[in-house]
Copies of this chain bind each other. A is one copy, B any other.
Amino acid sequence: MPEINGNKINLDFSKGSGLLPAICQDAASGKVLMLAYINEAAWEKTLETGEAHYWSRSRQEIWHKGGTSGHVQRVKEVFADCDDDAVLYCVEQIGGAACHTGFETCFHKKIAADGSISIIGEKVFDPKKVYKK
């Protein structure tokens, strides 16, 4: 491996047609909170502001997580993976929940070997109240 300490990161956005997966992990508990996508602008905005930004594939726009709900993600550490095509945001999740359904983590469906689902955890907030929909 070449000596890369101190070099600038150059993420490989070509593999995913301009989008790369970003894993978001709670910096304190270690829980994986969500997976979303970034484009180059969302990545730069995250580094610049210290708050997690993603690319919304459904809305086709930069998504400042928590911009609507107030539940922003304060980025404590950022990692890139070995081949520069995935990133990991370690964050402080304001409001205590990352999932739009009100659960702490989007990964709240535990899957058994036969494929059956068990919901893990309780809702931290009521999405109807937070999103006023």
Using a CB–CB cutoff of 8 Å, the interface residues on chain A facing chain B are 1, 4-9, 15, 21, 23, 25, 29-32, 34-35, 47-48, 50, 57, 77-84, 86-88, 99-101, 103, 106-111, 113-120
Contact = CB atoms under 8 A, between A and B. Distances in A.
A110 B32 contact: no
A107 B119 contact: no
B8 A117 contact: yes
Contacts of A99: 82
A80 B112 CA distance: 11
A62 to B, nearest CB: 18
Nearest to A22: B35
Contacts of A57: 15
